[in-house]
């Protein structure tokens, strides 16, 4: 479900749940949280690459699992996911997302929570939460820090699917590669960062934390409350019911 490889002081974390398009179920969120904590305490690691096994980077929250929960359970699950994603910004190490395939919903926001983002030109980026009937329940501060408030609002409405080039143009991603090139590029960048003095890399990340993260915990709490309210409405209930009965 979560593979770890270490190459030349670079840790490569691969979400490996292809049958669920690498969706963020409870067990996977716990594993990511644990691995980020472990890697942050390893003096032999200089950078982390986060990617997903084909065909997707990450399809966001596991709606099949969410569909089996009551609203309180969904809110707790999303708050846990939010905490895991915020921890990336607090990690001493730079984290680079390598995106191929789909980055949907929480997968889109998980990439935004990383320090740098590499996207293949064929990647598909979208936030389908509003069309599904609810506000994304976490990570909107990370998105807004990258693209600005008005573009963040535009993207959250979810009426667009971005390719890699558009994602780079809007600031969603930092580097564009040909198909199947995102991981190689992310490895290259991570290797260059890992070769720098770790204390200076750490200090740089720490210096920008207040601006990048800001009141992310408050933003997530407010989004979670709105998410809970939205889930009481017909559109959200219909979406969750549809996914809950899928095989």
Pick from 99, 95, 146, 151: nearest CA to 121: 99
DSSP E strand boundaries for the chain? 2-7, 10-15, 47-52, 95-99, 102-104, 116-120, 124-126, 175-177
pTM for this predicted structure: 0.96
* Beta carbons of 137 and 82 less than 8 angstroms apart: yes
- Residue 57: C-alpha distances to residues 1, 22, 149, 203 (Å): 13, 7, 25, 29
pLDDT in tens, the chain (247 residues): 999 999 999 999 999 999 999 999 999 999 999 999 999 999 999 999 999 999 999 999 998 898 889 999 999 999 999 999 999 999 999 999 999 999 999 999 999 999 999 999 999 999 999 999 999 999 999 999 999 999 999 999 999 999 999 999 999 999 999 999 999 999 999 999 999 999 999 999 999 999 999 999 999 999 999 999 999 899 998 988 887 645 3
Specify whether domain 2-180 bears CATH 3.90.226.10: yes
| The predicted structure's pLDDT at residue 111 | 98
The residue extents of the domains of the chain are 2-180
| The predicted structure's pLDDT at residue 247 | 37
């Amino acid at each position: 479900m979560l593979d770890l490889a270490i190459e030349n002081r670079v840790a490569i974390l691969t979400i490996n749940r292809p049958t669920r398009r690498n969706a963020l179920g409870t067990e996977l969120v716990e594993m990511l949280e644990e691995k980020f904590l472990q890697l942050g305490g390893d003096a032999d690691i200089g950078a982390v690459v986060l990617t997903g096994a084909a065909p997707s980077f990450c399809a966001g929250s596991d709606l099949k699992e969410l569909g089996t929960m009551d609203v309180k359970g969904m809110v707790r699950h999303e708050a846990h996911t939010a905490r895991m994603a915020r921890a990336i910004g607090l990690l001493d190490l730079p984290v680079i997302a390598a995106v191929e395939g789909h980055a949907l919903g929480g997968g889109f926001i998980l990439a935004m929570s990383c320090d740098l983002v590499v996207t293949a030109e064929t990647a598909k980026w979208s936030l389908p939460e509003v069309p599904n009937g609810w506000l994304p329940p976490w990570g909107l501060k990370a998105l807004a820090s990258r693209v600005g408030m008005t573009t963040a609002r535009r993207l959250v409405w979810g009426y667009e699917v971005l390719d890699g080039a558009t994602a780079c143009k809007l600031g969603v991603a930092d580097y564009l590669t040909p198909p199947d090139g995102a991981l190689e590029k992310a490895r290259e960048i991570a290797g260059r960062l890992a070769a720098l003095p770790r204390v200076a890399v750490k200090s740089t990340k720490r210096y920008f934390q207040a601006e990048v993260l800001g009141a992310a915990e408050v933003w997530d709490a407010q989004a979670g409350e709105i998410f809970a309210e939205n889930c009481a409405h017909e559109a959200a209930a219909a979406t969750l019911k549809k996914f809950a009965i899928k095989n």
